[in-house]
Structure 1
């Protein structure tokens, strides 16, 4: 299920993004400050390049590039 980012509470969205950008392996050797990475994710969400995907089976929410989400979730 796709969750519209603009329907989340601002603090919830910030926490989700901060968790995403601080996970092991997400910096790929990039020394960009966390706040810059957070802004990049917010920008990707606002441009529709990234989405928030909620997996009903695992009950977990994750950020994903739009192209990685199966097309049936957009219907």
Structure 2
């Protein structure tokens, strides 16, 4: 299920993005400041290049690039 980023409170969206960009394996040695990484994700969400995906089975949210999301979620 796709969750529109603009339907989340600003605080919730920030926490979700921060959680995503600080997960193990997401920095790959990248020394970019946290705020810059958060802003990059906000930009990708605003441009519909990335989406928030909620999995009802696991009750987990993640952020995914548009080209990685199964097409049926857009229908």
TM-score tier, shorter chain, comes to: over 0.9
Please give the TM-score of this superposition, normalised by the length of structure 1: 0.97
Deviation of 1:25 after TM superposition, in Å, equals 1.0
Q: Give the equivalent residue in structure 2 for 1:57.
A: 57
Deviation of 1:38 after TM superposition, in Å, equals 0.2
SS at match of 2:29: coil
Task: Name segments (4+ residues, structure 1) moved above 3 Å.
Answer: none
Q: Give the equivalent residue in structure 2 for 1:28.
A: 28
Alignment coverage as a number of residue pairs:
75
Please give the TM-score of this superposition, normalised by the length of structure 2: 0.97
- Deviations for 1:5-32, whole angstroms, at most 9, x for unmatched residues? 0000110000000000111111111110
5+ residue gaps in structure 1? none
Q: Give the equivalent residue in structure 1 for 2:44.
A: 44
5+ residue gaps in structure 2? none
